[in-house]
Structure 1
Amino acid sequence: MTKEKAIALLSGGIDSPVAIHLLQEKYDIIALHFHQIPLTDEKEREKVRRLAIHLGLKKLYLVSFADVLKNLVDKCDHRYYYVLGKILMYKVASKIAAKEGANHLVTGENLAQVSSQTLSSMHAITMQIDIPFLRPVLCCDKQEIVDLAREIGTYEISCGPEMCSLLGPKNPITKARQYLVERELGKLDVEKLVEDSLDFENVEIVQRE
């Protein structure tokens, strides 16, 4: 029986590899990682490659996102950095899903763990995205996730460098309201940012047999 495809965001942290593992039996997972090179070095991207291999993933998209994030910092209220960044990542992911024939996005979001994962922020983000989400660790206790990561062998790899907060604010918004999120998005050329992210020079596709 052919598995349904899903695009999974693989950040390199502890949660997303566990989320992928939990859904691999049912879905054909294609991984997607957004990196910030040249703002960062190669270490996080290499960690993600290791995680993809360890999880047995056959396809991994590596997308350069540094310019998009710098655009957010330059043009938008900095407090909305994480919420807007997530929206733009998910819009890029949705385009890749359409190309791959995938019907869902998989995330390692864990409720209230960070500012963009409160209920109000997640609602504001989800309202901007058309494709359905799968969030298998959303309501898990953090220790449960850590224990499972150790069990499947991803914990030690995930404990390597992670740079998602490099350009982030000290006091991010935690209760994002939809109309304020839309106001901030209106400061950006969202369609162009998404399309530019998908230019061949910004995307590396790693495939394994």
Structure 2
Amino acid sequence: MSRSEYPGGVLTHGKLLYPLPPGRYLLLYSGGLDSTYLLKTLLEDDNIEVVPLHAYISRVTLHAAIENLKRVKPRGKQVKLCITNHGDLLRLAVRRLRKSRLVEYTCIACKALMMMEASIVAEKLGGVNGIITGESLGQVASQTLPNMVVVHSYSKLPIYTPLLAADKHEASNIMAHLLEKTPSCRFLPPRRVTRADYVLTRMILDEIGIEELASLTLVEIVTL
């Protein structure tokens, strides 16, 4: 049985067993297979209000995210989609990393920005219990345990990762034929840090002004 355990819940075969406490949660939503699979599962739980948060990179990625949301949301159910100006902030962060010859920290900076953007959006919305991510251990450079410890430290809210150790074949089998493909990340550097030292990485992100960049977060909310 494929199973992913996390604080407050277990995701098994598309069902949340031992579910999250009832309430409102932000879901980091790229529109890709993992986050859309997770969104579908959460939207089917009547005890949870899930608000997807899309970190805008381009019109193409936003279009795919919106189309995939429409394909999985229950008929007649309205969903609020929050969209942040992530691409603008990440572009500035990458410019500063390149200047310092530290471009290999791009993926960590990207995820740290997302966590801070989510914290800002959660404060604007009010009543948000936590942030849910579709992270899967080791799937991409930023999703190793050392890197995730750094990234998660930038959130002001509890983080829930129901796919952390999940069997990815389950999501693939259920969702792959339903979804519009999302493009690969244009900011991906040739080399990525995979075993981030917590203190050193925090220092590097502080030096490029990551919190100052996050303070420039803008959010648009659309109802679908």
TM-score by length of structure 2 reads 0.79
Tell me the equivalent position of 2:7: none
TM-score by length of structure 1 reads 0.84
Alignment check: 8 A CA contact 2:71 2:178 kept: no
Q: 1:177 aligns with which of 186, 197, 220?
A: 197
- Per-residue CA deviation, residues 140-193 of structure 1 (Å, 9 max, x unaligned), is 12212212325xxxx4324x2324x21121110011111121121122333332
1:197 aligned counterpart, secondary structure: coil
Tell me the equivalent position of 2:25: 6
CA distance in 2, matches of 1:49, 1:15: 15
Equivalent positions of 1:28-43 (< 5 A) are 28-37=49-58, 42-43=59-60
CA distance in 2, matches of 1:61, 1:8: 10
Alignment check: 8 A CA contact 2:84 2:220 kept: yes
Query: What is the letter of the counterpart of residue 212 of structure 2?
Result: K
Q: Larger helix proportion, structure 1 or 2? A: 1
Q: CA deviation at 1:58?
A: 1.2
CA distance in 2, matches of 1:118, 1:181: 14
- Per-residue CA deviation, residues 108-145 of structure 1 (Å, 9 max, x unaligned), is 10110011111111112112322111111111122122
Tell me the equivalent position of 1:103: 129
Q: CA deviation at 1:23?
A: 2.8
Equivalent positions of 1:106-185 (< 5 A) are 106-150=132-176, 155-158=177-180, 160-163=181-184, 165-185=185-205
Tell me the equivalent position of 1:78: 103
* Identical columns (%): 27
Unpaired runs of at least 5, structure 2: 1-20
CA distance in 2, matches of 1:148, 1:180: 40
Unpaired runs of at least 5, structure 1: none
Tell me the equivalent position of 1:93: 118
RMSD over equivalenced CA pairs, Å: 1.9
Tell me the equivalent position of 2:88: 67
Ranges of 4+ aligned residues in structure 1 off by more than 3 Å: none
Higher relative contact order (CA 8 A, sep 6+): 1
